[in-house]
Amino acid sequence: MINPNPKRVLIGICGGIAAYKVCEVVSSIFKAEVQVKVILTASGREFITPLTVATLSRHPAYTDADFWQPIHTRPLHIELGEWADLMVIAPLTANTLGKLAYGLADNLLTNTVLASHCPILLAPAMNTDMWEQVAVQRNWQQLLTDRRYHSVGPGAGLLACDRTGTGRMAEPNQIVTAIASLLHTNGKRDLIGKKVLISAGGTREYLDPVRFIGNPSTGKMGIALAQAALSRGASVTLVHGVLSAGISELGNPQLQAIPVVSAAEMQQALLSEFTTSDITIMCAAVADVKPSVYSAEKLPKKSLPESLSLAPVPDIVAGLGSIKKPHQKLIGFAAQTGDIITPATEKLIRKKLDAIVANPVDEIGSGFGSDRNRAIIISSSGKQQEIAPCSKLEMAHHILDFLPLL
C-alpha cells in the first residue's frame, strides 16, 4: 500500500570518502516509503555522482549549478527548506560544520539550512586529528546547543587515512534509525534530564556449564526502547541478557550497558540502578524457574536426570513495584498467547505497575525475534491504547508517547 502522506527527508552530502555510505541511507529510507531528495555539495560530487543519488531517490539531485540558475518560480533553497520534514547532513565535514556553527551560507546546502525550520541530523566524518582540533570541537559543541540539531556518531575505527581513531561516520543503519526516530518525534526532546532504566533480552538458568533453561528473546524490543529514549534526550541504562545483535552500534555516550546472564544477576543490576531512575521499562524475558541443583562440571549424558527438579527465581518486576517511589514510573511487558488483555491486566495490578504492554507472541510478525510488533498498552488507571503492527522502534516511541498519560 502506498503511503498517502509520506514524510520528506532532504539529505545533504558533503565531500568525504564516507559519502558512498549515504547511498545505502537514501535507498533504505526510500524503501520505507519516505520521500527523499539530495543536495550534493561541489566537493560531494567528487565522491559520488548526481546520477547515482537521483536513481536511488527517484528525484533529481540538486547541486550548486541548480542554485545559481535564473529563478523561474521561487528560489530553490526556499522551496527545498520548506519541503523538508527533516534534513540530514552526511558526511558532515569540518568545513560545513564551521559554516553551520557561524550561520554562514555560501552554497545551496548551507542556504537551505538557513531557509528551513525542520530538525537537522548531523553525521560527522573526518580524520581523527581534524575531529580533535580545538576549533572543530568548539564548533561542534556550539552547534549542538541549538535544539534544531541532532547528532549520530562519529564512531571509532579504521579510517580511510589508515588511522584508527574517532571520526568514522556512523553506519547507514544507525543513520536510518536516527532518521526514523526524528520523523516520529519531529525532534522533540521530552526526556532530557530523565534517567530511563530498561531491561532487555532473555536470561539463562544453567544446569551445568553448557546446558540452560532459556527462551527465544532476542532483545530487539529493548534495544529499540533504548534507541527511542536516547533520541528523546534521556540518559539510558540498559540491563541486558543475551542479545541477537551487539549494542555498540547504538554509539551514544548517554548509554550505559550492563550485561547479565541469569535472573539473579539481572535482579542485582536492576536494584542497584532502580532508585535513581525516573522511568523503568521491564522488557526482558526473565526466567520463571531454574534448575534447583547446578553442576560445576558438564554432566555426562547418562547422568542427566530423567526429571529436572526446578526452583523459582525472584519476581524482579514485582520486587521493583514494591519499592517504587511516587515520582517513578514502572512499565512492564506481558508476552501472551490467545487473550492478551486479561492476564496482562492481572499482572499490572499484582505487580503494582503504572502500565503494562501486552503483546502477542503467537502471531506471525509479532513477538520474539521479529522486527515488528503490535501491542495494547494498559495503564493502572484503566486507559488503553492499541498499537497497530509497526516496527519495534516505532512501537518504542508509541510507548514513550504514552508516558504523560500515567
Q: Residue 370 has which C-alpha cell?
A: 521479529
Q: Residue 324 has which C-alpha cell?
A: 517504587
347 is in an annotated binding site: yes
The confidence band for 1, taking pLDDT boundaries of 50, 70 and 90, is very low
How far is Cα of residue 227 from the mean position of the Cα atoms in its chain? 2
Do 131 and 22 lie in one domain? The reply is: yes
185, 213, 246 — which closes off a domain? 185
285-309 mean pLDDT: 89
CA distance 126 to 363: 45
Do 121 and 59 lie in one domain? The reply is: yes
pLDDT digits (tens, 9 = 90+) for 231-286: 999 999 999 998 876 666 566 788 999 999 999 999 999 999 999 999 999 999 89
Number of domains in the chain: 2
The confidence band for 72, taking pLDDT boundaries of 50, 70 and 90, is low
The CATH number given to whatever domain includes residue 259 is 3.40.50.10300
- Partners of 231 in beta bridges: none
Determine whether 161 is an active site residue: yes
Q: Which of 45, 43, 53 is nearest to 10 (CA)?
A: 53
pLDDT digits (tens, 9 = 90+) for 37-52: 999 999 999 999 999 9
SS3 letters across the chain: CCCCCCCEEEEEECCCCCHHHHHHHHHHHHHCCCEEEEEECCCHHHCCCHHHHHHHHCCCCECHHHHCCCCCCCCHHHHHHHHCCEEEEEEECHHHHHHHHCCCCCCHHHHHHHCCCCCEEEEECCCHHHHCCHHHHHHHHHHHCCCCEEECCCEEEECCCCCEEEEECCCHHHHHHHHHHHHHHCCCCCCCCCEEEEEECECCEEEECCEEECCCCCCHHHHHHHHHHHHCCCEEEEEECECCCCCHHHCCCCEEEEECCCHHHHHHHHHHHHCCCCEEEECCECCCEEECCCCCCCCCHHHCCCCCCEEECCCHHHHHHHHCCCCCEEEEEEEECCCCHHHHHHHHHHCCCCEEEEEECCCCCCCCCCCEEEEEEEECCCCEEEEEEEEHHHHHHHHHHHHHHC
pLDDT digits (tens, 9 = 90+) for 86-105: 999 999 999 999 999 999 99
Residue 1 belongs to some domain of the structure = no
Q: Tell me which of 14, 23, 118, 161 is the catalytic residue.
A: 161
Do 177 and 200 lie in one domain? The reply is: no
Do 214 and 349 lie in one domain? The reply is: yes
402 is in an annotated binding site: no
Q: Which of 124, 40, 41, 119 is nearest to 84 (CA)?
A: 119
pLDDT digits (tens, 9 = 90+) for 49-71: 999 999 999 999 999 999 888 76
149-151 and 289-291 beta bridge pairing: unpaired
Please give the backbone phi and psi of residue 206, each rounded to the nearest 5 degrees, phi first: -85, 140
Residue 317 belongs to some domain of the structure = yes
Do 199 and 174 lie in one domain? The reply is: no
Nearest-10 crossing angle of helices 392-402, 172-185: 30
389 is in an annotated binding site: no
pLDDT for res 277: 97
Dihedral of alpha carbons 259, 265, 267, 272, sign: negative
pLDDT for res 49: 95
CA distance 359 to 332: 11
Do 228 and 371 lie in one domain? The reply is: yes
Segments forming the whole domain that contains residue 371:
195-405
Residue 168 has pLDDT above 90, yes or no: no
Do 166 and 210 lie in one domain? The reply is: no
The CATH number given to whatever domain includes residue 162 is 3.40.50.1950
339-353 mean pLDDT: 92
pLDDT for res 3: 64
Neighbours of 360 (CB within 10 A): 18
pLDDT for res 136: 95
The confidence band for 391, taking pLDDT boundaries of 50, 70 and 90, is very high
128, 161, 185 — which closes off a domain? 185
351 is in an annotated binding site: yes
Q: Residue 77 has which C-alpha cell?
A: 533553497
Residue 149 belongs to some domain of the structure = yes
Do 266 and 342 lie in one domain? The reply is: yes
- Give the whole-number percent of the chain exceeding pLDDT 90: 74
Q: Which of 313, 271, 308, 283 is nearest to 293 (CA)?
A: 308
Dihedral of alpha carbons 32, 36, 41, 44, sign: positive
- Partners of 89 in beta bridges: 12, 122
311-316 mean pLDDT: 92
Residue 392 has pLDDT above 70, yes or no: yes
325 is in an annotated binding site: no
298 is in an annotated binding site: yes
pLDDT digits (tens, 9 = 90+) for 120-148: 999 999 998 889 999 999 999 999 999 99
The confidence band for 166, taking pLDDT boundaries of 50, 70 and 90, is confident
CB-CB contact of 81 with 112 (8 Å)? yes
Kindly report the CA angle at 68 between 64 and 69, in degrees rounded to 5? 115
336 or 144, which is more confident: 144
